[in-house]
């Protein structure tokens, strides 16, 4: 075989798997169709959207308005070029770091589009039309996903866009329709709303982010409406048209018509497996082009593994990295790798949201008795210093053993703060840890103690 381990895709799952296999002394290569590594996460997904968020918060002065007032602006006339400069710098640095890591670990990068000949051989089409064939003992499919494009929508990569094409905007729209109130849709809707874009969110479901704690979502909705965001829930798009002035008209099945300068479709994603020739390797994909795997991330072909967005839920960069690592360990015969039962969700909206463990709804359905402790971030000294006007840390505690069952946070720093709750839940920590622990003062982490005291007060009434 040419390689011990061939990885298709250089996103979080593929990169982590390749490095892990190389560290185990194997001959490893990554096949990447782009001229640079990083996959969707670096080029159109995780890194760009989070960088856009940070640039918007800084350049608009949003994160200082709690101190200096809602009229505060760091830059009065913000342009798309201002945002793209920050993005270009970040992407260049990320690619440089990844290239160095792969090179340092002896991982070969092969540019081209891969397709299976059989379960041990693969064909790579080069950009110049030529092709090469490679063989490997084990494979990992980590090709990621792409946005789903509803039929009949005239996407033009200018004002009618999907979540990958949003980075192609030539100017900041004064108004935007966001179709899809999932994680990606909410992130972009909230980010553009900080830049004074008038946002309308359309979704066929009755609620936003149904997997999250209801109280946290209510706080998010309140903040969005306070910023002038319009929610059109239980509504479906019938058709979209663009007029001669470049304005977008969105017609809903209910008969409503929405007009804006741009429309973003963020209504789900589909696996990038169309050109892989999976059938040649004895592998099938489902209706959303996702690949089914077992607990070791093996496909129906035992020597071929899959990880990341291409296998579906939870489709997070963080979990994809861990899936790739575990798959590589199993493929290389290393038995010491295990997976964590608990992992955090992070939603980089404005404000951030993050959660780990059970929600109140889940515990109620499972008939597990619990109590809740809450801290509003503005109650902490650090929150006052930062000028926070919104934000909640919510801790759910089991009544019988006082174990921490869930932590749910909305507010700046939520995706960092959640890891304290993650450690407590993973290690079986109880309410007493937070009651007795000492936190740096002033910090937002002190919110854990405030929430714990609130829960204790409720438990001892």
In a domain, 365, yes or no: yes
- State how far the Cα of 386 lies from the Cα of 412, in Å rounded to an integer: 10
The percent of residues above 90 in pLDDT, for the chain, comes to 74
> What's the token pair of residue 228?
């002038």
The enclosing domain of 237 has a CATH number of: 3.50.50.60
175 phi, psi to nearest 5 deg: -145, 150
The pLDDT of residue 275: 92
**Res 339 pLDDT > 90:** no
What is the residue-averaged pLDDT of the chain? 92
Most confident of 49-53, 89-93, 323-327: 323-327
- Widest distance between CA atoms in the chain: 75
Burial (0-12, 13-18, 19+ Cβ within 10 Å), 418: buried
Burial (0-12, 13-18, 19+ Cβ within 10 Å), 312: middle
**Res 131 pLDDT > 80:** yes
If we measure between CA atoms, which residue out of 103, 107, 121 comes closest to residue 28?
A: 107
- Among 284, 299, 331, residue at a domain's last position: 331
219-270 pLDDT, tens digit each? 999 999 999 999 999 999 999 999 988 899 999 999 999 999 999 999 889 9
In a domain, 400, yes or no: yes
CA distances from residue 168 to 144, 186, 214 in whole angstroms, order as listed: 20, 19, 34
The enclosing domain of 447 has a CATH number of: 3.30.390.30
In a domain, 28, yes or no: yes
Q: How many domains does the chain have?
A: 3
Rg of the chain taking only CA atoms, in angstroms: 24
- State how far the Cα of 254 lies from the Cα of 309, in Å rounded to an integer: 33
Q: Are residues 112 and 46 in the same domain?
A: yes
Domain residues for the domain of 440 are 351-459
- Among 302, 331, 360, residue at a domain's last position: 331
What's the start-to-end Cα distance of the chain, in Å? 69
Q: Are residues 94 and 238 in the same domain?
A: no
In a domain, 238, yes or no: yes
- State how far the Cα of 352 lies from the Cα of 348, in Å rounded to an integer: 5
The pLDDT of residue 79: 83
In a domain, 56, yes or no: yes
- State how far the Cα of 428 lies from the Cα of 422, in Å rounded to an integer: 10
The pLDDT of residue 374: 97
Q: Poorest-confidence range of 56-65, 194-203, 247-256? A: 56-65
Q: Are residues 95 and 193 in the same domain?
A: no
In a domain, 337, yes or no: no
CA distances from residue 61 to 53, 97, 390 in whole angstroms, order as listed: 12, 30, 16
Q: What is the mean pLDDT of residues 69-96?
A: 82
Categorise residue 386: left if φ over 0, alpha if ψ from -120 to 50, beta otherwise.
Answer: alpha
Query: CB neighbours (10 Å) of residue 303?
Result: 14
CA distances from residue 134 to 126, 193, 277, 381, 436 in whole angstroms, order as listed: 13, 48, 15, 60, 59
If we measure between CA atoms, which residue out of 50, 39, 49 comes closest to residue 16?
A: 39
401-421 pLDDT, tens digit each? 999 999 999 998 999 999 999
- State how far the Cα of 202 lies from the Cα of 253, in Å rounded to an integer: 11
Q: Are residues 323 and 390 in the same domain?
A: no
Q: Are residues 360 and 391 in the same domain?
A: yes
Q: Are residues 311 and 205 in the same domain?
A: no
Q: What is the mean pLDDT of residues 108-116?
A: 95
The pLDDT of residue 84: 85
Strand ordering across the sheet containing 230-233? 160-162, 262-265, 175-179, 198-203, 230-233
Q: Are residues 110 and 177 in the same domain?
A: no
In a domain, 86, yes or no: yes
Burial (0-12, 13-18, 19+ Cβ within 10 Å), 246: exposed
**Res 80 pLDDT > 80:** yes
Return the bridge partners of 285, or none: 291
Q: Are residues 319 and 260 in the same domain?
A: no
Q: Are residues 208 and 292 in the same domain?
A: no
> Structure pTM?
0.91
Under 8 Å CB-to-CB from 67, ≥6 apart: which residues? 386, 387
In a domain, 133, yes or no: yes
Q: Poorest-confidence range of 4-8, 333-337, 374-378? A: 333-337
The pLDDT of residue 41: 66
Q: Are residues 359 and 391 in the same domain?
A: yes
Q: Are residues 255 and 302 in the same domain?
A: no
Q: Are residues 143 and 22 in the same domain?
A: yes
Q: Where are the alpha helices (DSSP H) in 107-261?
A: 183-194, 214-226
10-51 pLDDT, tens digit each? 999 999 999 999 999 999 999 999 888 887 766 677 788 888
Place of tokens 């959640």: 418
- Among 267, 286, 317, residue at a domain's last position: 267
H or E element that contains 175:
strand 175-179
């Amino acid at each position: 075989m040419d390689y011990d381990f061939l990885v298709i895709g250089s996103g979080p799952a593929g990169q982590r798997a390749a490095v892990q296999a190389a560290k185990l002394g194997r001959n490893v290569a990554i096949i990447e169709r782009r001229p640079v590594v990083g996959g969707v996460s670096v080029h159109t997904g995780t890194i760009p959207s989070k960088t856009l968020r940070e640039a918007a918060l800084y350049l608009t002065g949003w994160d200082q308005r709690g101190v200096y007032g809602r009229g505060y602006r760091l830059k009065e006339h913000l342009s798309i070029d201002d945002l793209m400069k920050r993005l270009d710098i970040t992407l260049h640095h990320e690619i440089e770091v990844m290239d160095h890591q792969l090179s340092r670990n002896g991982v070969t990068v092969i540019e081209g589009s891969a397709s299976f000949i059989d379960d041990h051989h693969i064909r790579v089409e080069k950009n110049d039309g030529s092709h090469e064939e490679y063989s490997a003992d084990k494979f990992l499919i980590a090709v990621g996903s792409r946005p789903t494009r509803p039929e009949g929508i005239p996407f033009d990569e200018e004002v009618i866009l999907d979540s990958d094409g949003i980075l192609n905007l030539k100017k900041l729209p004064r108004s935007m329709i966001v179709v899809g109130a999932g994680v990606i849709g909410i992130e972009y809707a909230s980010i553009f709303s900080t830049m004074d874009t008038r946002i309308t969110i359309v979704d066929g479901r009755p609620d936003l982010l149904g997997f999250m704690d209801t109280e946290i979502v209510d706080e998010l909705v309140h903040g969005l409406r306070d910023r002038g965001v319009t929610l059109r829930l239980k509504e479906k798009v019938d058709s979209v048209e663009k007029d001669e002035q470049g304005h977008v008209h969105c017609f809903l099945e209910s008969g409503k018509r929405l007009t804006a300068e741009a429309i973003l479709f963020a209504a789900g994603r589909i696996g990038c497996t169309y050109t892989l020739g999976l059938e040649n390797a004895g592998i099938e994909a489902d209706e959303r082009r996702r690949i089914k795997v077992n607990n070791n991330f093996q496909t129906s072909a035992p020597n071929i593994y899959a990880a990341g967005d291409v296998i579906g839920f939870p489709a997070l960069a963080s979990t994809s990295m861990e899936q790739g690592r575990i798959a590589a360990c199993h493929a290389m015969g290393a038995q010491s790798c295990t997976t964590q039962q608990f992992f955090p969700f992070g939603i980089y909206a404005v404000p951030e949201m993050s959660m780990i463990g059970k929600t109140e709804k889940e515990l109620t359905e499972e008939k597990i008795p619990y109590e809740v402790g809450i801290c509003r971030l503005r109650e902490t000294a650090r929150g006052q210093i930062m000028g926070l006007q919104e934000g909640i840390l919510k801790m759910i505690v089991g009544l019988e053993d006082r174990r921490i069952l869930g932590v749910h946070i909305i507010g700046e720093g939520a995706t960092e703060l959640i890891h304290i709750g993650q450690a407590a839940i993973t290690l079986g920590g109880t309410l007493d840890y937070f009651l007795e622990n000492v936190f740096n003062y002033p910090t937002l982490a002190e919110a854990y103690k405030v929430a714990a005291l609130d829960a204790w007060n409720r438990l001892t009434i």
